[in-house]
Chain A
Amino acid sequence: MARITASVYTSHVPAIGAALDAGKSHEAYWEPVFKGYDFVKQWEKEQKPDVVFLVFNDHATAFSLEMIPTFAIGTAAEYTPADEGWGPRPVPKVMGHPKLAAHIAQSVIQDDFDLTIVNKMDVDHGLTVPLSLVFGQVEAWPCPIIPFAVNVVQYPVPSGRRCFMLGKAIRKAIESYDEPLNVQIWGTGGMSHQLQGPRAGLINREWDNAFLDRLISDPDGLSRLPHIDYVREAGSEGIELVMWLIARGAMSDVREDGKGKAPTVRQRFYHVPASNTAVGHLILENN
């Protein structure tokens, strides 16, 4: 049977991708950011995941206002890095896992989460920056990726609670897949940031760290936090953090039968700033 072995959380700031692609990762401004990701690169070489289920958001790239799916699962064989207006990032194509993705779609929809199924989609920095941060600059990504896009651009976005419960359904779906795959689930985006209006530049270090604390030890309580708290405290774009709750909901310790153990925190990192944003990164291993 397939199993979720770990969850990984990270911000996806586009400027991080731009700095990496331009060879600026050793500049004084960027070095502390990339240093926080040294551990995960080594860890991934040991973990060797067979598939990554990557929860991310599109930024008016694949989805314009013509269609705004709340939850969209990628079931394609491959995905091309998008041209977001600055030219496509020079990163490898993203290979999908259509068979597992289709299995998850079927299971999760039967579990009352009405997903949109996407067979053609370019992927923007929301997906490729986390891949670069975690796997580094590589010729090919080390494993297939299942992109899972969440609408956090147009309100109302899904609630933290909805995301958390969805994570639980995704775990059940993965665990009912026959092949013995080592699957990781990633939650991306955040942390505090606001990109618009006179309040742009908002950062809330204290709130972010409390979010990390609760994500680790009180995810159920954290999932009940209303949207307005994210907006007021972590900025209008801080709402992306609801995506982390999907990954957290898929961990064993929150399963309904109470049989799972608390995860091990393998890495925790926080840094301000990367461009307009607070960068957060966490690794939780299932026990």
Chain B
Amino acid sequence: MSLDKPYMDVPGTTIFDADMSRMGYHLNQFCMSLMKAENRARFKANERAYLDEWPMTEEQKQAVLDRDLNRCIALGGNIYFLAKIGATDGKSFQQMAGSMTGLSEEQYRDMMIKGGRSVEGNRYTGEKK
């Protein structure tokens, strides 16, 4: 019997559930390794070599190299783990979140100051705005 996943039709949103977690296990654990300063240094020195130490898929490695967070999430990454890459790069959480929206850093910050993204038109995929 299939599981109940009522969250599949929320636009621009990937819910990190047990299936995603299984898919992203090594990607997320690689991110976790960046909590240690020595690992951050080794990763920065040679990103490709550091990634090759992990049994991640080539797609996952490429998404990390590209800093494509949406792609990382589609491949099982979770934002709290991916944030460790951002911390390594010296990025704030707002810069990371904004990078996934197609807005510039300034546009995203302005949107937040004006009260954030409205839920109107953003509840269901395909919903008319």
- Are chains A and B native binding partners rather than an unrelated pairing? yes
With an 8 A cutoff between CB atoms, is A24 at the interface?
A: no
In the complex, the answer to whether A201 meets B111 with C-beta atoms within 8 Å is yes
A83 CB contacts on chain B under 8 angstroms: 35
Contact A195 B79 (CB under 8 A): yes
Within 8 A of B (CB), among A45-68: 59-61, 64-66
Interface size, chain A (Cβ < 8 Å): 45
> Closest residue of chain B to A237, judged by CB?
B79
CB distance from A272 to the nearest CB of B (A): 5
In the complex, how many angstroms separate the beta carbon of A273 from the nearest chain B beta carbon?
4
Q: In whole angstroms, what is the CA distance A192 to B34 when docked? A: 28
Does B70 lie within 8 Å of A197, measured CB to CB?
Answer: yes
Q: Does A14 contact B (CB under 8 A)?
A: yes
Q: Which residues of B lie under 8 Å from residue A203 when comparing CB positions?
A: 112, 115-118
**Closest beta carbon of chain B to A168's beta carbon, Å:** 26
The reply to whether A198 and B34 contact each other, CB–CB distance below 8 Å, is: no
Known contacts A202-B122, A207-B119, A197 near B16 by CB under 8 Å? no
User: Are B17's CB and A156's CB within 8 A?
Assistant: yes
Mark interface residues in A180-203 (1 if CB within 8 Å of B CB, else 0). 000000000000101111111111
- A199 lies within 8 A of B117 (CB): yes
Q: Chain A nearest CB: distance from B118 CB in Å?
A: 8
**Interface size of B as a range:** 35 or more
Contact of A197 among B29, B100, B108 (CB under 8 A): B100
A220: chain B residues at CB < 8 Å are none
A228 vs B91: C-alpha distance when bound (angstroms): 30
Asked if B98 and A200 make an inter-chain contact with CB atoms under 8 angstroms apart, the answer reads yes
Interface residues of A in 213-250 (CB under 8 A from B): 226-228, 231-233, 235-236
Separation in Å of the A270 CB from the closest CB of chain B?
12
Q: Do A85 and B81 have beta carbons less than 8 Å apart? A: no
B102-129 toward A: CB 8 Å interface, digit per residue (1/0)? Answer: 1000001001110111110011100000
Min distance, Cβ A274 to any Cβ of chain B, angstroms? 9
Chain A proximity mask over B13-57: 1 for CB below 8 Å, otherwise 0: 111111001000100110110110000100000000000000000
| Given A195-B79, A201-B117: A273 touches B122 (CB 8 Å cut-off) | no
Q: List, in ascending order, chain B residues with CB within 8 A of A201's CB.
A: 97-98, 101, 108, 111-112, 116-117
**A200 CA to B73 CA in the complex, in Å?**
13
Would you call B94 and A275 a contact (CB within 8 A)? yes
7 A-B pairs with the lowest CB-CB distances in the bound complex, closest first: A203-B116, A85-B87, A199-B12, A198-B12, A155-B17, A60-B80, A201-B117
**A to B CB contacts below 8 Å, 6 in the list:** A59-B80, A65-B21, A85-B87, A199-B122, A200-B98, A231-B10
